[in-house]
Amino acid sequence: METIASIATAVGMGGIAIVRISGPEARNILTRVFAPKNTKRGMRSHQLTYGWVVEGEERVDECMAVFMRAPHTYTTEDVAEIQCHGGRVAADRVLEAVLHNGARLAEPGEFTKRAFLGGRIDLAQAESVMDLIGAKTARAAKRSMQQMDGDLSRRIHQLQDQLLDTVAYLEAYLDYPDEDIEEMTAEQAALRVRAVQQELGRAAGNARAGRMLSAGARIVLAGSPNTGKSSLLNGLLREQRAIVTAAPGTTRDLLREELDLNGLPVVLVDTAGLRKAQDEVESIGIGRAREEIDRADVTLMVLDAAREMDEEERALLKKVETPLVVAMNKSDLERRLEKEQVLALAPGAWTVETSAKTGQGLDALRRALFQAALQGASPEEAYLTRERHVQAALRALEALQRAQEALASATLDCAALDLRAAWEALGAITGANATEDVVDRIFEKFCLGK
């Protein structure tokens, strides 16, 4: 096994940078590049020591260093870390000294990959490491931390154990018919399988919420000119980010802003008003607006409640396929539009009365957008956070359905095979039976130094 090294901290100005080394030569390399001030004391495992990084007689940097003996380390291997001054030059010089003394530059995610291969974490926990690093809200970070602690893995193992118990009974009864083994009826097995199906079905149903918490939601504001889209954007952000004028068509290009929506990371996209374009520039903006609506996780359609809907608005209400929130704006003026007219065209939409001018309804609008993004799912129950998890769960559900059909026809041997297939599909989530290609594909998306 090669010894690897990399800068583990972000590039740029900072007080401290960390160069991490992992592998069988970690201690020897550290000894060659690090000169402790107190040479008599020596270096003890898991204790910081003050000194200098050196190349020959030259002192490269003043630093702290620590050696951590396997297996009680992040990677389960011998690990050394050098805490040097931040900034690109100092960290690069320390890393260069480490590489010159026997280490290889680590690939993206290679430290975490070694932690997985060493059995300290499973694949779901490894993925949550990058989710935590990339978390944009406190709620997303909390969810990632729970996954790192094994929340998802424990749930999956519980479901696998339930399936394995059922398989064991079925196979024992089939393989040893003459032994005194209590028969498990097909009805009893079906009840056990149904319990797993229901739990897994709920998890798959909540998967969108998990993905939204992890990756964030894209909310696109759409509507006709002068309905107040940009004003509502400013109101949701609680700051003036979009230019607002009385002239129709002020917004001609896309405006993207990030928002923490009750712990849900959101990108708000303001678009050009949809109408017959007055010039080429506006035409391009309207075309981009329609593209953004098609890509949205949630569409926030803004209507002017002080006038009747036009044909463009009616057509858009019918066309939108993503979760839809309708802001009936300008509610401080005399109403000319009712919720019932909106719901007749878009029955599943969330409707909120708002006034960007007075701030009325903005809190209700935030709640509606949150519910639409998660589609009513509970964030606490959303533990399938990646598409890979969802696809594995769906494969398991298909196998469980085949098992139920086999149990209904009393073909217990087929049921046992299908239950094992479901068990293996769930194992893909934690990486129990992941192929090398899958593992490589996951870790190549990690950042350097992790």
Residue carrying structure tokens 């396929």: 321
Residue 25: per-residue pLDDT: 97
pLDDT at 382 over 50: yes
| Helices marked H in 384-411 | 387-408
Give whole-number Cα distances, 135 to 131, 265, 268, 329, 441, in Å: 6, 8, 17, 32, 21
Cα–Cα distance between 140 and 214 in angstroms, integer?
A: 6
Q: What is the Cα–Cα distance from 143 to 122, expressed in whole angstroms? A: 17
Could you give the CA distance from residue 281 to residue 345 in angstroms, rounded to a whole number?
31
Query: What pLDDT was estimated at residue 290?
Result: 72
Q: Residues of CATH 3.40.50.300 domain(s) within the chain?
A: 218-379
- Cβ neighbors of 281 (< 8 A, separation 6 or more) are 252
Q: What is the CATH number of domain 218-379?
A: 3.40.50.300
* Between residues 229 and 435, the one the model is more confident about: 229
- Of all residues in the chain, what percent carry a pLDDT higher than 90? 44
Which residue type is seen at 25?
E
Cα separation values, 273 from 254, 299, 304, Å: 11, 14, 12
List the end-to-end C-alpha distance of the chain, in Å, as a whole number.
Answer: 18
Look at residues 5, 212, 178 and name the one whose alpha carbon lies nearest to residue 103. Answer: 5
Q: Residues 209, 378: contact at Cβ < 8 Å?
A: yes
Q: Topology of 4-106 in CATH?
A: Gyrase A; domain 2 (3.30.1360)
Average pLDDT, the chain: 85
The first and second tokens of residue 315, run together, are: 């057509």
Predicted confidence at residue 196, as pLDDT, reads: 94
Average pLDDT estimate for 300-321: 88
pLDDT per position as a tens digit, 14-67: 889 999 999 999 999 999 999 998 866 667 889 999 999 998 889 999 999 999
> Does domain 126-206+384-435 sit in CATH 3.40.50.20?
no
Average pLDDT over residues 369-385: 81
**How many angstroms separate the CA atoms of 162 and 169, rounded?**
11
268-300 pLDDT, tens per residue?
A: 988 876 655 444 444 555 667 677 778 889 999
pLDDT (0 to 100) of residue 64: 95
Interval 201-226 mean pLDDT: 86
Which regions of the chain carry the CATH code 3.30.1360.120?
Answer: 4-106
Where along the chain do the CATH 1.20.120.430 domains lie? 126-206+384-435
pLDDT reported for residue 247 = 41
Q: How far is CA 187 from CA 45, 90, 125, in A?
A: 58, 69, 36
* 3-state class (DSSP) for residue 204: helix
> Which residues are CB-neighbours of 66 under 8 A, at least 6 positions away?
43, 46, 47, 48, 49, 80, 81, 83
Q: What is the mean pLDDT of residues 377-394?
A: 83
DSSP 5-42: EEE-S-SSS-SEEEEEEESTTHHHHHHHHEEES-TTT-
* Angstrom distance (rounded) from CA 21 to CA 5: 4
How confident is the model at residue 121, as a pLDDT?
93
